[in-house]
Homo-oligomer: A and B are copies of this chain.
Amino acid sequence: VRLASAAAGIRYPNRQDLVLLELDPASHCAAVFTRNAFCAAPVTLARAHLATHSPRFLLVNSGNANAGTGTRGLDDARACCARLAELAGCEAEQVLPFSTGVIGEFLPVERFRAALPEALARLRADGWRPAAEAIRTTDTVAKGTTRRFDVRGIPVTITGIAKGAGMIRPDMATMLAFLATDAPVEQPVLQGLLAAAVAETFNRITVDGDTSTNDACVLIATGAAALPPIDRSDAEVYRMLAEQVHAVCLDLAQAIVRDGEGATKFITVRVSGAASEAECQTVAYTIAHSPLVKTACFASDPNWGRILAAVGRSGAAGLDIGQVAIHLDQTCVVRGGARSPDYREEQGRAVMGQEEFTIHVDLGRGTNATTLWTTDLSFDYVRINAEYRT
C-alpha cells in the first residue's frame, strides 16, 4: 500500500485535502458504507465499482462531501476516477472515490483533476500520517494506529487512519476509515472480519446521533506477509487476526469520540442485564443521545434522575424500573430503581469530574450486555455546529 496527499484547493487554498491510496494488484479489499438513505455520490459509485472490479486506488477528498448533488455529483465523481485511471493506466472502475466535507455543493472537478498527477508522483509506503492529516474536517487531531503481531513467527502489521468528529452516529462506520494489513486474506473472509469488527467498534460510538451521508470504512489485505491465506480453517490464527482488526478499529473509533465536537468528556455507556441485544442498544443509545444526560456530564453533575428517565423512556417493553441499578464507575448510585441508601453525592461528583468515566446501567432482567462510547454536550458543540457548515 502506498499513499500520497496533495492540496487540490477543494474548499480552502493551500490545504492538504486530497489523498491517494494505491493497492498492490494482489490485494483484497473489504468495505462497509453508510446506511443513510441519503448517501453521497461517491458512496454510490464506490459500491458499484466494488461490485464488479478489484480496486487499485482509493481516491479521497476532504472539504466537500459531494452529497445532495444529484446526477451531476455522480458525473463529477466519475470524471475524477476516470482521470486518475487514465494517468495510472487502470480502469475507472478500479478507483473507489470517498468524499467528506460540506453537503450540497458541487466538487471543483477541474482543480481536483489537476492535482492528480502530483499526487501520483508522491505515492510512498510511509505516507499514512500526512494522509490522516489531509482527510480531517472538524477533527482537531489526526487519527491513526498500528498494530504488529506474530503469526507462527511471521510478523504481521495492521495500520489504520480515520476522520470524524461530528455527525457521528455510525450506522456502519464513522465518516472515513482506511485500514491495511499485509496479512494474506481472501475477500469474503476479509469482509467478514471487517463487518464483525465494525459492529462492535465504529457502530458503537455516537457523538450527536446524526449519521453521516458519506461514511465508509475500508480494509485492505495486501498478502505481502509470507503466510498462507488466513481463514477459519485455522481457528487460532483467524482469531488472532480478528482480535487485531478489532483492536485497530476500536482505537480509531474511540479516537473519533475523544475528538468529538466540543467534547470535554469520554463516556463509556454500558448496559447489562437486558432481555435482548436490541434492548441493550435501545437503552444505551437513549442514554447516550439524551441532551439532558449529556449536559449533566458536561457539568460533572451526577444527576442520576436524568439517566433513569432516559432508561424509562427508551421503550424497552415491560421494563420494571424497580429492578434497575446504576453505577458511575464503581460507585453504586441507584439500586432497585431509587437512590442507593449508602450513596453520597460527593462520590458521584468525583466520578463525573474525571475526563473519562463509565455509566453502567443494569436492567436486572436478562443476560445481554453491550458497551458504547460517547461524549458530553458542551457550549463548544453548539458553537462549532452553528459556525461550521457540514
Taking residues whose C-beta sits less than 8 angstroms from the other chain, chain A's interface range is 35 or more
- Tell whether A213 is near chain B: CB-to-CB under 8 Å: yes
Q: Are A210 and B304 in contact (CB under 8 A)?
A: no
Residues of B within 8 A of A104 (CB): 303-305, 308, 339
Task: Report the Cα distance A362→B290, complex, angstroms.
Answer: 28
Min distance, Cβ A66 to any Cβ of chain B, angstroms:
11
Min distance, Cβ A343 to any Cβ of chain B, angstroms:
10
Q: Are A338 and B69 in contact (CB under 8 A)?
A: yes
Min distance, Cβ A216 to any Cβ of chain B, angstroms:
15
Task: Report the Cα distance A306→B388, complex, angstroms.
Answer: 12
Task: Report the Cα distance A167→B303, complex, angstroms.
Answer: 13
- Tell whether A59 is near chain B: CB-to-CB under 8 Å: no
Min distance, Cβ A297 to any Cβ of chain B, angstroms:
9
A368-390 vs B, CB cutoff 8 Å, 1 = contact: the mask equals 00000000011101110111011
Residues of B within 8 A of A189 (CB): none
Q: Are A65 and B210 in contact (CB under 8 A)?
A: no
Residues of B within 8 A of A127 (CB): none
Task: Report the Cα distance A78→B87, complex, angstroms.
Answer: 81
Considering the complex, which residues of chain A in the window 245-291 have a beta carbon less than 8 Å from any beta carbon of chain B?
289-291
Give the 10 A-B CB pairs with smallest separation, nearest first.
A103-B305, A38-B312, A70-B338, A295-B385, A299-B386, A211-B313, A36-B312, A37-B312, A104-B305, A208-B291
Task: Report the Cα distance A292→B138, complex, angstroms.
Answer: 14
Partner of A337, one of B68, B296, B298: B68
- Tell whether A311 is near chain B: CB-to-CB under 8 Å: yes
- Tell whether A17 is near chain B: CB-to-CB under 8 Å: no
Q: Are A291 and B210 in contact (CB under 8 A)?
A: yes
Residues of B within 8 A of A208 (CB): 290-292
A35-53 vs B, CB cutoff 8 Å, 1 = contact: the mask equals 1111100000000000000
CB contact under 8 A between A382 and B382, given known A38-B321, A309-B167, A312-B36: yes
Min distance, Cβ A335 to any Cβ of chain B, angstroms:
10
CB contact under 8 A between A210 and B292, given known A68-B334, A382-B377: yes
Min distance, Cβ A259 to any Cβ of chain B, angstroms:
17
Residues of B within 8 A of A133 (CB): none
Residues of B within 8 A of A379 (CB): 379, 382-383
Task: Report the Cα distance A353→B166, complex, angstroms.
Answer: 24
Task: Report the Cα distance A363→B142, complex, angstroms.
Answer: 38
CB contact under 8 A between A296 and B67, given known A309-B211, A311-B38, A337-B38: no
Min distance, Cβ A62 to any Cβ of chain B, angstroms:
15
Q: Are A210 and B310 in contact (CB under 8 A)?
A: yes
- Tell whether A218 is near chain B: CB-to-CB under 8 Å: no
- Tell whether A171 is near chain B: CB-to-CB under 8 Å: yes
Residues of B within 8 A of A141 (CB): none
Residues of B within 8 A of A309 (CB): 36, 38, 67, 103, 167, 210-213, 390
Residue among A167, A210, A316 facing the most chain B CB atoms (10 A cut-off)? A210
- Tell whether A230 is near chain B: CB-to-CB under 8 Å: no
Residues of B within 8 A of A289 (CB): 209, 289
